[in-house]
Each structure stands twice: as structure tokens, then as C-alpha cells.
Amino acid sequence: MTFTNDIQRLFKQGDIITKLLIINTIAFILLWMVEIVGSISHTNVYYTVLQNIAAPTLAKSFLRKIWTIATFSFFDTAFLSYFCNMIFLNWAGRIFLNFLNEKKFLATYILGIFSGLALSIIGSSLSITQGILLGPAAAVLAVIVAAATYAPNYRIYLLFFGEVPLKVFAIIIAVFECLPLISIFGQYNPQTLASTFYKLGGVLYGFSWAYLLRKNIDISMWLLKFITNVENTRIEKKGPKMYKHTHRDEEYVSYEEVSYDEEEIDTILGKISKSGYDSLTKEEKEKLFKQNKK
């Protein structure tokens, strides 16, 4: 029970990335256990479960299994796919949170999945072929591309290549994942095509969202408001907390101070875009960190 308690404590105390890693890992283990049970019992239980958690990419089939919109992105059938997704999610997610807050991260993750699903359904429906979707690949790619678009000159270290801008890595990974689209002009596998459209949807959303955000346009605002309302509802259900009252002077922040802070943050973000995150001074990094926590 100690291990279970440790996982529960880690889930409660961890950030949004830790929570997603735990959820995806538990889902992968559960599906793997179902596969073992099916293999031992010589039944089709594994394929029955798979058919009810994977999202079909043909519109009519998807509407018959609409509940899969809430299940397909958490499960994966291949260990390598699961492992790579979790590694990239943790790595790119940490970079993302250097500049933006957890709510924006969660919104990017969710809408990356929905965008990938929508594009895959459109592509499959136009070609009248069907595949199935599993895994958070579109969400992971959305996070990577969003981080690279928002802070393109952020420096990362790649084995054999040394230090390179984040945008270079994002371009390489996006092109690699979307290469199967070339098969549209020849013979193609419907499953491969559906998966590739799914990943492309995540790439397109991540780029569009971050590009517009740099112009102070947040297309995920409706989801951010929903997430905030859910959090407020949970807090209200828990009831009021008891606080020890202490006397202290009330602090007021004038409109001019707020405007000044926003101008400072815009200047810092512009500096990141031109010269990379490492070009910031210690004071600028602290200001950016405090702003993201608001």
C-alpha cells in the first residue's frame, strides 16, 4: 500500500505534467494487463476493449462511439510509442512552463488532441477509409510546436548536434512525423494516414495558437474560462478554509503599475524571441516566473 500511497501523494502534489504522466502510465499498464488476460484465457477480451476505447476516424463510426473522445488519447498499445510520448511530454512540457502557466499548457494539450482528431476524421472521411486513433501524440506535438513557436530561439542540447534553437528541433520532429502524408499521392495504408493526420492536427494547432498568442490573441480562451470555472466549483465544494486573522496594511495596485508590469513582460518576451531565454538576466527570469504564476 505504501507504493499506492506514494503515487496518490505524487498525483496530488505534482504539477499538471506529473498528473498527465501518471494517468497515461496507469492507462498503458491497464491495457497491457487486459492483453495478458486475453492471451492467457484465449479470448477476444483485449480486442473488445480496444474497439471501445479507440476512436474510429470515419465520421459515421465515430458518432456511434462518441464516448471514445474521452478515452482514446490516454491509451497506447506499443511500449515504444508510449515511452517516447511520455519523454517528449515531460521534456517539452517543462520548457512550455518556463514561459506560460499550467492552464495554458492543459488547454494546449486538450485542444491539440481535439484538433488532431478532427483533422483525422476529415481526412479519413474524404478518402472513405477508416483507421483508429490511440495515444496522446497530437497533444505532445502541439506542446512541442507551441513552445518552439512562442520561444523559437530557446536553446536546447541535441546529441550529435550540440546546442540548437528549439525551433530547429520542432521543425525536424514535425516533418518526420508528417512524412507519411507523401503516400497520399500513391498507395497508402488507411491506418498510417489516419495517424499522420492526427499528428498533423496537433502540429497545426500548436503553431497557430502560439503564433496568435504572441499577437495577444488567445484562441483557447473559452477553454481556459471553463477550466477556471471547474476549479472554482471544486474549491467551493471543499468549503471555506480557516485563516488566522492578522493586522496588516492593505496594498493597492494602481492601473499605471499594472500597465508598467505588462510592458516589462512584453519587453522580456521580445528579448526571448530575438536572443533566446538564456539572454535574460536573473531579475528578468524572476519577473517572468512570477508573472506565469499569476
* pLDDT in single tens digits along all 294 residues of the chain: 588 888 889 999 999 999 999 999 999 999 999 999 999 998 899 999 999 999 999 999 999 999 999 999 999 999 999 999 999 999 999 999 999 999 999 999 999 999 999 999 998 888 777 889 999 999 999 999 999 999 999 999 887 778 899 999 999 999 998 887 776 555 667 888 889 999 999 999 999 999 999 999 999 999 999 988 988 887 777 665 544 444 444 343 443 444 445 667 767 776 776 666 667 777 777 777 666 655
The verdict on residue 59 lying in a domain is yes
72 and 215 part of one domain = yes
What is the pLDDT at residue 254? 41
Can you tell me the distance from the alpha carbon of 155 to that of 168, in angstroms, rounded to the nearest whole number? 10
The verdict on residue 232 lying in a domain is no
Q: Which residues contact 227 (CB under 8 A, 6 or more apart)?
A: 103, 106, 107
Answer yes or no: do 155 and 101 share one domain. Answer: yes
The pLDDT value given to residue 94: 95
pLDDT at 147: 96
Query: Does residue 242 fall inside a structural domain?
Result: no
CA distance 233 to 133: 32
**153/99 Cα distance (integer angstroms):** 13
Q: What is the CA radius of gyration of the chain?
A: 22
Say what the pLDDT of residue 190 is.
81
Tell whether 147 and 31 lie within a shared domain: yes
The reported pTM is: 0.80
16 domain-assigned: yes
In this structure, the answer to whether residues 215 and 254 fall within a common structural domain is: no
Domain housing 113: 2-227
pLDDT at 130: 83
Q: Do 267 and 215 fall into the same domain?
A: no
Whole-number Å distance between alpha carbons of 140 and 135: 10
Same domain flag for 80 and 118: yes
Phi and psi of 132, rounded to 5°? -130, 155
Same-domain check for residues 84 and 186: yes
- Measured CA to CA in angstroms, residue 183 lies from 119, 180, 189 at distances of 17, 6, 8
Number of domains in the chain: 2
Q: What is the reported pLDDT for 216? A: 92
Distance CA 285, CA 4 (A): 37
Within the chain, strands assigned E span: 55-56, 132-133, 155-158, 162-165
- Please tell me the distance from the alpha carbon of residue 56 to that of residue 75, in angstroms, as a whole number: 14
Boundary of a domain, candidates 227, 262, 282: 227
Residue 261 falls inside a structural domain: yes
Residue 161 confidence (pLDDT): 76
In a domain, 233, yes or no: no
